Chains A and B, each alone.
Chain A
Amino acid sequence: MAVEALIEKLKEQVGVERPPRVYEVEKGMIWRFAQALGDSNPLWQDGKYAAKSSYGDIVAPPTFALVLGFEQVVQALAAEPSVTVLHGSTDLETYLTIKPGDTITVTARIANARERPGKMGNMLFVTFDMSYHNQKQEAVARCRQMAIIY
C-alpha cells in the first residue's frame, strides 16, 4: 500500500470515533515521562516535597496528557514504512491536573483530512481531536493534533 491508499483510508475515517483507550496512571509512568524529558521538577517525582504542596502528592506535568492516546494516532498514520509522518501542530487545553491513581479514558476521532499537492507528491493534512476524561467522567483535557503525511 502506498501513501495514496492510506490517504483514502484516513479520509473515509473522518468523524468516526475510535475505540477509547484507558490508562491507569501511576507514579512510575509519571517518573518515566519526567526522566525522558530531563525534567527534575520535584513536584513530578519527590513524594516528600509534593506532600507539602497544595496538591498533597506527586502530580503529572501538564504535558503528560500529550502522550496518553498518542500511540493510537501514530499507529493509525504510520502503519506503512513507505509513508512519512510529520507532526504539524498541537493544541492542548487542560482543565484538571492528572494524578497517580487516576484512570484516564482517551477518545480520538479524525476531525478532518485535507489533501494538497506538495513537492514530495500528494500530502495529507489530517487533524485528530482527542478528549480525556477521568474516572469521575470529568473532562481533564482536550487536544487537537495535526499531522502531515506523504
Chain B
Amino acid sequence: MKQQIYYEDVAVGGEIMPLIKLPTTRQLVMYAGASGDYNPIHYDKDYALERGLSGVVVHGQLAGCFLGQMLTDWMGDEGSLRKLSLSYKGMNFPGDTLTCRGIVTKKDIKDGQYLVTASIWIEKESGEKTLTGTAVIALPTCGR
C-alpha cells in the first residue's frame, strides 16, 4: 500500500512532492484519442506553424492532468480532489521538461471535511510558469 497522508501531517507553507513530466508527440496523440480533443494544433505541425505557433502544443488539459497526477500521488488513496482551477498562461511543447509543483496555502475544516487548499503550477526549465491554479483536497484525519 502507498503511504497515506493525513490532515494533521500537512502544514500551511508546506510543499507538495513535485512531479516531473516529459511530454512527447506520441503522448499528445494518445491524449487526443483518450479525450476526443482533435484540435489539429496538438498533432499537425504544418497547421500549428501556419497558425503562428512554433510547433504542436501540449493540450492545456493534459498539462492540467499532470497537476492532477501530482495531487493524487500526494493525497493518497483516501484523499479526494474537490476542486481544480487551472489558468493556462503559456504553451508547453513536446521535449519540454515540465515540473509540477504545489504549496499548501490554507487548511480548514468545513462541513465535517478536512480541507487543504494548495497553490499549484507547472514550470519549465526556464522558470516560466505555463499553468497556474488552485486545488482543494479533502484529506482523512488521524482522529477519525
Contact = CB atoms under 8 A, between A and B. Distances in A.
Nearest to A143: B84
Contacts of A135: none
A112 B30 CA distance: 31
Nearest to B65: A63
B103 interface: no
B64 interface: yes
Contacts of A86: 60, 88
Contacts of B87: 88-89
Given A32-B34, A67-B34, A81-B47, A94 B81 contact: yes
A88 B51 CA distance: 17
Interface residues of A, number: 37
A137 interface: no
Contact of A93 (B47, B72, B78, B83): B83
A89 B88 contact: yes
B56 to A, nearest CB: 13
Interface of B: 1, 21, 27, 30-31, 33-41, 47, 51-52, 59-62, 64-66, 68-69, 72-73, 77-78, 80-88
Given A52-B1, A62-B84, 14 more contacts: A29-B34, A39-B65, A61-B68, A61-B69, A62-B68, A62-B80, A63-B61, A63-B69, A67-B35, A67-B37, A70-B37, A85-B41, A91-B85, A94-B82
18 contacts: A33-B35, A37-B65, A37-B66, A41-B69, A41-B72, A43-B72, A54-B78, A61-B69, A66-B61, A66-B65, A67-B35, A67-B37, A71-B36, A86-B88, A88-B87, A89-B85, A91-B83, A92-B83
